[in-house]
């Protein structure tokens, strides 16, 4: 294996390792978000998009080169087999075909996992943000509930004072205060309703993000299984051809 394909293979192993680390269940999205906010990542983030696009271009070039090599040696293998050349020459071409196919799989899966890794990272950050928003909304709703209870208690107290009061001026003043408090209570109830709707919407978005993340994990497992099946099929074909 040449240096470039060795580097691509190591890059593929690194991608698999990072995705497995992201799948660790006891590390929450909020903790991942805190890790992404470290000073080191903030320095790298300015170059992240350029590096991401550069790696995609390199992987696409290597993938196309591997496709070209596979097509090249597939045609040469069929021609040499039909021409009945020496067995060593045929085995040499067959070995080159196998290497080209191996390079094709390595570059293809590296490109795919690079895109998956970018998507998983974005989903983790979005999930952590939505979780923080839900916590903030819950705290605000609890605060509004306490304020509403306080307004209700004040309202009851004012009603009692209003019943026991005999002076018209004081009675009118208390009525105005009562109306003001009722208006504030209605406003607080309306705000509570809006907060509850926002909380329900955020929870639905969080559930959707969780389902999407689980779908990506299942898709990754399926692709790994298909990759292993393809490798086993190629090995079986190679062993049959050698026999």
Q: Which residue ranges make up each domain of the chain?
A: 3-242
C-alpha 107: how far from chain center: 22
- 179 touches 155 (CB < 8 A): no
List, for residues 22-48, the tens digit of each pLDDT value: 777 776 766 766 666 655 555 666 677
According to the model, what pLDDT value does residue 19 have? 81
List, for residues 222-238, the tens digit of each pLDDT value: 888 887 887 777 777 77
Alpha helices (runs of H) in 37-167, residue ranges in sequence order? 39-83, 87-164
According to the model, what pLDDT value does residue 209 have? 79
Using only C-alpha atoms, the chain has a radius of gyration, in whole angstroms, of: 33
* pLDDT less than 50: residues of the chain: 77-85
Q: What is the pTM of this model?
A: 0.49
Residue 13's alpha-carbon distances to 6, 99, 135, 225, in angstroms, are: 11, 18, 37, 16
């Amino acid at each position: 294996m040449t240096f470039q394909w060795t580097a691509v293979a190591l890059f593929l192993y690194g991608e698999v390792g990072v995705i497995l680390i992201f799948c660790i269940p006891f590390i929450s999205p909020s903790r991942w978000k805190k890790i992404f906010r470290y000073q080191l990542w903030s320095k790298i983030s300015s170059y992240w998009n350029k590096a991401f696009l550069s790696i995609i271009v390199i992987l696409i070039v290597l993938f196309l080169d591997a496709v070209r090599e596979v097509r090249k040696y597939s045609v040469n293998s069929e021609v040499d087999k039909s021409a009945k050349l020496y067995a060593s020459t045929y085995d040499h071409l067959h070995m080159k075909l196998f290497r080209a196919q191996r390079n094709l799989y390595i570059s293809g899966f590296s490109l795919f996992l690079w895109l998956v890794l970018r998507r998983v990272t974005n989903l983790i950050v979005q999930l952590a943000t939505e979780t923080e928003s839900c916590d903030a909304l819950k705290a605000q709703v609890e605060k509004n509930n306490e304020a509403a209870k306080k307004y209700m208690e004040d309202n009851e107290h004012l009603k009692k004072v209003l019943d026991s009061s005999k002076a018209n001026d004081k009675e009118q003043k208390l009525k105005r205060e009562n109306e003001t408090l009722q208006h504030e209570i209605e406003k607080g109830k309306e705000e509570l309703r809006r907060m509850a709707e926002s909380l329900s919407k955020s929870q639905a978005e969080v559930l959707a993000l969780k389902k999407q993340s689980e779908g990506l994990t299942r898709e990754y497992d399926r692709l790994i299984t298909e990759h292993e099946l393809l490798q086993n099929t190629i090995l079986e074909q190679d062993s049959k051809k050698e026999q």
